[in-house]
């Protein structure tokens, strides 16, 4: 028995040493970050309207070529602190979407919501644009994040569409994944270990691998398949598109019941903007949204008119998300449209620049 206990002790000790060595190597060779974005715990979920771990700040180094600063306020939204109660005279806009709205791989001040706020505040006075972007989400999650953020008394909601939103409707819903994560983080002993684990390179490496596997699991979704032809793109899937439309109508109904206007914007992938993919999906969603009487602000024309190459408006060759410059073009165009329509039309004294 003593030999068995001694053997188990030696094995456990060797395992601990192995883990520590792996952690040291990952850190020394910069093979994995030691911090990253986290979502709310179960307790926080019931107390704040945002979905990101509140009062957090770190340098995101998932891609060593694209380090960027991230700050999450006390209400769980990326960016500067937001008061729970809306100040008198302030117009609030919820900008809702996935990683294109969250602003993956750019600093807080360069995200689309931050630059849109800067444009509108200069022309229209007290305007707050709240970043309701959560990476990896689509209309199913947007429906929920909008409902939660209504506690901030928004005057307008702008919902963004990116070209993986239809394909992301396949597989397990991200909203359920987030709910399962909250439940796991609340259970002992993980509830005690998680705050320590999330600051380790091993944990963050595991999360990166998990994210890649989930993405690859969706790689064959009908709306993500590359199809043949002179300008390939995504293959239409009528069932997924019908589901997206149903979810959008639920969002519209929720906001209409509160008297809050809804606007819709589309942000093309670089493959579409530069002619490698067809614009068919964007044209479909823009037409569908307009058929419901919802105003649409396409970004394709503004980005194309800018004339700069793909690696200026997107983070190529390292990543396909928009760059700060790409977001600046989009923010200017969106600000120009919003400044002439309700609820901002009457208070904007000059055109956004």
318, part of any domain: yes
**Which of 100, 69, 30 minimizes the C-alpha distance to 265?**
100
* pLDDT for res 192: 72
pTM for the full predicted model = 0.91
* pLDDT for res 218: 45
Cβ contacts of residue 192 below 8 Å, gap of 6+?
none
347, part of any domain: no
125, part of any domain: yes
Dihedral, CA of residue 296, residue 301, residue 303 and residue 309, to nearest 10? 150
Cβ contacts of residue 228 below 8 Å, gap of 6+?
none
68, part of any domain: yes
Contact call for residues 272 and 300 (beta carbons, < 8 A): yes
Distance CA 206, CA 228 (A): 35
Distance CA 259, CA 261 (A): 6
Distance CA 315, CA 32 (A): 20
257, part of any domain: yes
259, part of any domain: yes
Cβ contacts of residue 291 below 8 Å, gap of 6+?
none
8-state DSSP, 235: P
Comparing 34 with 248, the larger pLDDT belongs to 248
48, part of any domain: yes
Distance CA 243, CA 139 (A): 9
Distance CA 136, CA 234 (A): 18
Structural domain boundaries enclosing 204: 42-338
24, part of any domain: no
Q: Considering its fold, how many domains does the chain have in total?
A: 1
**Which of 146, 59, 158, 152 minimizes the C-alpha distance to 108?**
59
pLDDT band at 142 (very low <50, low <70, confident <90, very high): very high
Quote the mean pLDDT of the chain: 89
Mean pLDDT is lowest, of 28-37, 86-95, 326-335, 340-349, for: 28-37
Cα–chain-centroid distance for residue 27? 27
Contact call for residues 323 and 312 (beta carbons, < 8 A): yes
- The string of DSSP codes covering 147-207 is HHHGGG--SEEEEEE-TTTTGGGSSS-HHHHHHHHHHHHHSTTHHHHHHHHTTSHHHHHHH
pLDDT band at 277 (very low <50, low <70, confident <90, very high): very high
Cβ contacts of residue 154 below 8 Å, gap of 6+?
92, 93, 94, 130, 260
**Which of 123, 121, 102 minimizes the C-alpha distance to 112?**
102
Write the CATH number for 91: 3.40.50.1110
């Amino acid at each position: 028995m003593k030999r068995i206990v001694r053997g188990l002790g030696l094995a456990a000790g060797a395992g601990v040493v192995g883990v520590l060595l792996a952690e040291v190597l990952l850190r020394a060779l910069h093979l994995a970050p030691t911090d990253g974005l986290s979502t709310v715990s179960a307790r926080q979920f019931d107390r704040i309207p945002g979905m990101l771990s509140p009062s957090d700040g770190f340098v995101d180094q998932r891609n060593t070529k694209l380090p960027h600063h991230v700050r999450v306020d006390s209400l769980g939204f990326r960016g500067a602190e937001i008061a729970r109660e809306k100040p008198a005279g302030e117009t609030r806009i919820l900008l809702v979407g996935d990683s294109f709205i969250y602003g993956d791989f750019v600093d807080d001040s360069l995200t689309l919501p931050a630059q849109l706020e800067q444009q509108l505040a200069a022309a229209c006075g007290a305007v707050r644009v709240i970043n309701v972007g959560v990476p990896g989400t689509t209309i199913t999650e947007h429906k929920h994040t909008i409902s939660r953020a209504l506690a901030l008394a928004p005057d307008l909601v702008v919902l963004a569409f990116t070209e993986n939103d239809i394909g992301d409707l396949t597989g397990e819903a991200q909203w359920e994944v987030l709910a399962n994560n909250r439940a796991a983080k609340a259970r002992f002993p993980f509830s005690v270990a998680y705050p320590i684990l999330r600051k380790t390179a091993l944990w963050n490496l595991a999360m990166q691998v998990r994210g890649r596997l989930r993405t690859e699991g969706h790689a064959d979704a009908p709306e993500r398949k590359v199809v043949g032809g002179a300008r390939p793109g995504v293959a239409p899937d009528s069932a997924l598109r019908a589901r997206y439309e149903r979810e959008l109508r639920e969002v519209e109904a929720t906001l209409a019941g509160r008297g809050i206007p809804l606007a819709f914007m589309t942000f093309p992938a670089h493959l579409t903007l530069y002619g490698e993919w067809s614009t068919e999906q964007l044209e479909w969603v823009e037409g569908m949204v307009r058929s419901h009487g919802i105003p649409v602000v396409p970004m394709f024309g503004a980005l194309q008119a800018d004339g700069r190459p793909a690696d200026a408006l997107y983070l190529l060759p390292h990543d396909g998300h928009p760059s700060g410059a790409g977001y600046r073009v989009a923010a200017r165009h969106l600000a120009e449209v919003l400044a002439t329509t309700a609820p901002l039309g009457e208070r904007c004294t000059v055109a956004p620049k």
